[in-house]
Chain A
Amino acid sequence: MVADVDFWLTQFLNGLQLSMLLFLLSIGLTIIFGLMHFVNLAHGALYMVGAYAGVSAAAALGNFWAALLIAPIAVMLVGIFLYAAIIRHMRRAGPMNQVLVTFGLIFVIVDLVRIVWGDIALGMAQPAILSGPAEFLGVVYPAYRLFIIAVGLIVMAALSLVLSRTQIGAMVRAGVENDAMAACLGINVERLFFAVFCVGCALAGLAGAIAAPVFSATPSMATDILIPTLIVVVIGGLGSLRGAIAGSLIVGFIQTFGAVVMPEFASVLVYVLLAAVLIVKPAGLLPARS
């Protein structure tokens, strides 16, 4: 019985860890979408680039923490390049063109990664201080995975604070709600979009880098994470932080517990949920615009 409780608590932590990774990815995607109605399917590819950047930085510098700092910056620079070269010119091109172009971008980025880093999975060492097991509510659980959860919670809290309490947060909320009116108050919405886009890219990079020691860096990361992330964004509701939090937790837990409780249905479970949400609340659970 005690073992049972431990088992479920472990699953709970697994679900939480997946939820946090999904959150780090979906928050950037959803706000970028909410603010500028821009669909960026290459967001998952940026997650993959973050993992490889982390692996290389850690190998070169021999320091995990430096890698954790460098990977988001590197991914943000990739994002800035994409913005200047492609996204900026596609802002008014319509969703169909944006989907096609950013879908194509996934393959370009994945192939570039294959050329630079090769096709095999690359591991990344955990920092010594986090490499052992830790105890959480009586269960033994890898310390590093608790660290992933902590990073996710910290980013969540920081973003909530910035969005709800600061002027720039109010500007983002206003821009998501009504970009035309925000512009009429003197807000340069395009520049705001660019800033949010950079933060979104950095968070995708951070997610990739903290995931690398657990899952290794592989080219398939780019697409594996994309579908659950998009489902989070759709379930949660476009443009909303609370939606991204709720969506990440729901999808993270359904995937984790689904795999344990009904393994044969696990892969379709999220889609069933997606369909159910879309039928009951087509705009998602907590959309930014009501």
Chain B
Amino acid sequence: MLEVRELLAGYGETQVIHGVDLAVREGQFHAILGRNGVGKTTTLKTIVGLLPAFGGEVVLQGNSIARRQPYDIARLGIGYVPETRDIFGSLSVTENLQLAARLAARRDRKWTIERVFEFFPNLANRRENGGNQLSGGEQQMLAIGRALVMNPTLLILDEPTEGLAPIVVRQIFDKLTELKREGMTMLLVEQNFHFATRLADTVSIFGRGQCVWTGTSEALRADAELHEKWLGV
């Protein structure tokens, strides 16, 4: 589904990603773990086209996307839930979803705006509210719903639990579990070890701009040394 090969990327002159390799298979839940500042977000931003790739290759379903524009990559089927959520505050909840739903016209419409409201009932009560009137949890749900109505072939989520209350984290966990059961292909960046390893089939660990380990969730949980070396504080 998605293959990242020897990716080099960064900001302006500063290179931050020094050769990342990553392969997400269709129908898989793939998580990326790693300490603060190792380049997880930078990698995602480069995949979705917000940052230029200095080198390497990104292939989505056989299409090379490393040098494409973000709107083009979105049209090819990547739904992106950014770390900062980036809800449009001046648009209503419904308008936020409608903008993203424009794209779905050309695909099978599994996810409609109505279905997002059933999936996240909290949002349904807030339809006409402005994006800037939502709580952090509601914003996160809207960010996920907005990516879903694009009917993506790959859903990318950057730390969806960051700064949320445990009960909301639990809700998001249940929803991602449901999506996984439906067969949605997902790439998740997380700091929350248990959240990620319980959901993921495959985990990649990042350290200093590189992918330093890839394996199953079970293998990672069994390996205390790995945890100590790359994830412990």
The smallest C-beta distance from A164 to any residue of chain B, in angstroms, reads 10
Q: Given A167-B102, A186-B103, A181 and B82 touching (CB < 8 A)?
A: yes
Q: A27-65 vs B: 1/0 string, CB under 8 Å?
A: 000000000000000000000000000000000000000
Q: B38-65 vs A: 1/0 string, CB under 8 Å?
A: 0000000000111000000000000000
The smallest C-beta distance from A30 to any residue of chain B, in angstroms, reads 15
Q: Can you name the residue of chain B whose Cβ is closest to the Cβ of A174?
A: B88
- Residues in A neighbouring B88, C-beta threshold 8 A: 173-174, 177-178, 181-182
| A154: Cβ under 8 A from any B Cβ | no
Give bound CA distance, A187 to B71, whole Å: 5
Q: Given A177-B88, A184-B48, A290-B132, A170 and B99 touching (CB < 8 A)?
A: yes
Give bound CA distance, A187 to B102, whole Å: 9
Residue of B88, B103, B150 contacting most chain A CB atoms (<10 Å): B88
| A77: Cβ under 8 A from any B Cβ | no
Count of chain A residues with a beta carbon within 8 Å of a chain B beta carbon: 19
| Cβ–Cβ contact B102 & A186, under 8 A | yes
The smallest C-beta distance from B128 to any residue of chain A, in angstroms, reads 13
Considering only residues 72-95 of chain A, those with a C-beta below 8 Å from chain B are: none
| A70: Cβ under 8 A from any B Cβ | no
Say which residue of A173, A185, A188 sits within 8 Å of B150 (CB atoms).
A185
- Residues in A neighbouring B91, C-beta threshold 8 A: 170, 173-174, 177
Considering only residues 202-216 of chain A, those with a C-beta below 8 Å from chain B are: none
| B36: Cβ under 8 A from any A Cβ | no
Q: Can you name the residue of chain A whose Cβ is closest to the Cβ of B94?
A: A170
| B183: Cβ under 8 A from any A Cβ | no
Q: Given A173-B90, A174-B91, A177-B90, A183 and B98 touching (CB < 8 A)?
A: no
Residue of B91, B99, B100, B132 contacting most chain A CB atoms (<10 Å): B99
| B146: Cβ under 8 A from any A Cβ | yes
| Cβ–Cβ contact A183 & B99, under 8 A | no
The smallest C-beta distance from A195 to any residue of chain B, in angstroms, reads 14
| B80: Cβ under 8 A from any A Cβ | yes
Q: Can you name the residue of chain A whose Cβ is closest to the Cβ of B156?
A: A184
| B75: Cβ under 8 A from any A Cβ | yes
| Cβ–Cβ contact A184 & B89, under 8 A | no
| Cβ–Cβ contact B70 & A170, under 8 A | no
- Residues in A neighbouring B174, C-beta threshold 8 A: none
- Residues in A neighbouring B74, C-beta threshold 8 A: 183-186
Count of chain B residues with a beta carbon within 8 Å of a chain A beta carbon: 24
Say which residue of B50, B71, B132 sits within 8 Å of A186 (CB atoms).
B71
Q: A143-183 vs B: 1/0 string, CB under 8 Å?
A: 00000000000000000000000010011011001101111
Q: Given A177-B89, A186-B75, A290-B89, A171 and B70 touching (CB < 8 A)?
A: no
Q: Given A170-B98, A171-B99, A185 and B89 touching (CB < 8 A)?
A: no
| A124: Cβ under 8 A from any B Cβ | no
| Cβ–Cβ contact B98 & A184, under 8 A | no
The smallest C-beta distance from A56 to any residue of chain B, in angstroms, reads 40
| A189: Cβ under 8 A from any B Cβ | yes
The smallest C-beta distance from B108 to any residue of chain A, in angstroms, reads 16
Say which residue of B70, B75, B102, B103 sits within 8 Å of A180 (CB atoms).
B70
- Residues in A neighbouring B122, C-beta threshold 8 A: none
| A288: Cβ under 8 A from any B Cβ | yes
| B86: Cβ under 8 A from any A Cβ | yes
The smallest C-beta distance from B210 to any residue of chain A, in angstroms, reads 25
- Residues in A neighbouring B21, C-beta threshold 8 A: none
Give bound CA distance, A159 to B87, whole Å: 24
| B95: Cβ under 8 A from any A Cβ | yes
- Residues in B neighbouring A288, C-beta threshold 8 A: 90
| B69: Cβ under 8 A from any A Cβ | yes
- Residues in A neighbouring B86, C-beta threshold 8 A: 178, 180-181
Give bound CA distance, A177 to B86, whole Å: 10
Residue contacts A-B, CB under 8 angstroms, 19 given: A167-B99, A167-B102, A173-B91, A174-B88, A174-B90, A177-B89, A177-B90, A180-B70, A182-B99, A183-B50, A183-B71, A185-B71, A185-B74, A185-B103, A185-B150, A186-B100, A187-B99, A188-B71, A189-B71
Closest A-B pairs by Cβ, 4 of them: A183-B70, A186-B74, A181-B86, A186-B103
